[in-house]
Amino acid sequence: MTGELSPIDKAKFVAAKRAAEFVEDGMRVGLGTGSTAAWLVRCLGEKVREEGLKFRGVPTSTRTAELAREVGIEVITLEEARWLDLTIDGADEFDGELSLIKGGGGALLQEKIVATASDQMVVIADAAKEVGTLGAFPLPVEVIPFGWTASQALIEEALVSMDVMGRQITLRMDGDAAYRTDEGNFILDLHLTRIGNPRQLALILNQIPGVVENGLFIDICDQVVIGYGDGRVEVRDINAGTTSEEQIALAENDNLFRDI
Ligand SMILES: O=C[C@H](O)[C@H](O)[C@H](O)COP(=O)(O)O
């Protein structure tokens, strides 16, 4: 069955499988959104069913909540959990300082709330997500639908006043209609060829009326687990300044592959 997975899916899978080992009995764990996070949820579901792992998960989207319940994970809300031991999530880009762009799947708002309410955030990603400087991936900004064009104009104005290159902004669509987040908001994708100062941009964007949140995650992520198509994983810890490498066996996981 493993032969049916593309190298990129294998890379996402091994990163997720390695990160699932961070989850221990009794933990409250934030569960990210996206294709890599979906692998994590499946891996954790398997640990619950086959190893009796006991933890509670706080999903970052309705999609993740549905999958988590389906695979047997106990799901609770962030209000019930109050605080989390750990959040594991994917990313669209990460740099050497583990600053991230997230929100390609539209879940950035819940993802940022959940990640910042956690003692630790671990990102799981295939190696292609690593960049020298953030910005090639369009930066998602969640805005409320009321007067969104005014918010867009203010964002454009802010970009002009900053050291940001490329300023095209598009409204994310879902077929013929605007894409709606779980909160019913819109997403503006900022096509920036270079973000001068991500920290400053993140702060300025969030001061604009109508902007709910942006997809820049700065000083939030503690560790990244990077997966490769040949089954290797690299674990980098930004606080400890350590990097370790190991090989994950793919053949053992035929059951999970069959579920796809
Ligand atoms: O809103 C979606 C999230 O930020 C995802 O974690 C991100 O887009 C990465 O998704 P994927 O693992 O599918 O590449």
Per residue in 73-99, pLDDT (tens digit) is 999 999 999 999 999 999 999 999 999
User: For atom 2 of ligand 1, which residue has the closest CA?
Assistant: 105
Report all structural domains of the chain as residue ranges with CATH numbers, in order of start. 2-130+219-257 (3.40.50.1360), 139-212 (3.30.70.260)
Question: Residue 251 has what pLDDT?
Answer: 67
Predicted confidence at residue 134, as pLDDT, reads 95
Q: Give the three-state DSSP class for 236.
A: strand
pLDDT band at 1 (very low <50, low <70, confident <90, very high): very low
Which residue, judged by its Cα, is nearest atom 6 of ligand 1? Answer: 90
Catalytic positions, written as ranges: 111
The pLDDT of residue 167: 79
Cα(72) to centroid(ligand 1), Å = 22
The answer to whether residue 176 scores a pLDDT higher than 90 is: yes
Q: Is the CB of 102 under 6 A from ligand 1?
A: yes
Please say whether the beta carbons of 106 and 213 come within 8 A: no
- Give the position, in ligand 1's atom list, of the atom nearest the Cα of 36: 12
How remote is the CA of residue 145 from the centroid of ligand 1, in Å? 22
At residue 249 the predicted structure's pLDDT band, cuts being 50, 70 and 90, is confident
Percent pLDDT > 70 in the chain is: 95
What is the pLDDT confidence band of residue 2, given thresholds at 50, 70 and 90? very low
The average pLDDT across 188-194 equals 93
| Cβ of 105 less than 6 Å from ligand 1 | yes
33 lines ligand 1 (CB under 6 A): yes
**What is the value of pTM for the model shown?**
0.95
Ligand 1 centroid to Cα of residue 38, in Å, is 10
Q: Rounded to an integer, what is the distance from CA 96 to the centroid of its chain? A: 17
Hey, what are 13's tokens?
A: 């899978």
Per-residue pLDDT band for 252 (boundaries 50, 70, 90) equals: low
Task: Give the Å distances, CA to CA, from 155 to 61, 174, 198.
Answer: 26, 22, 14
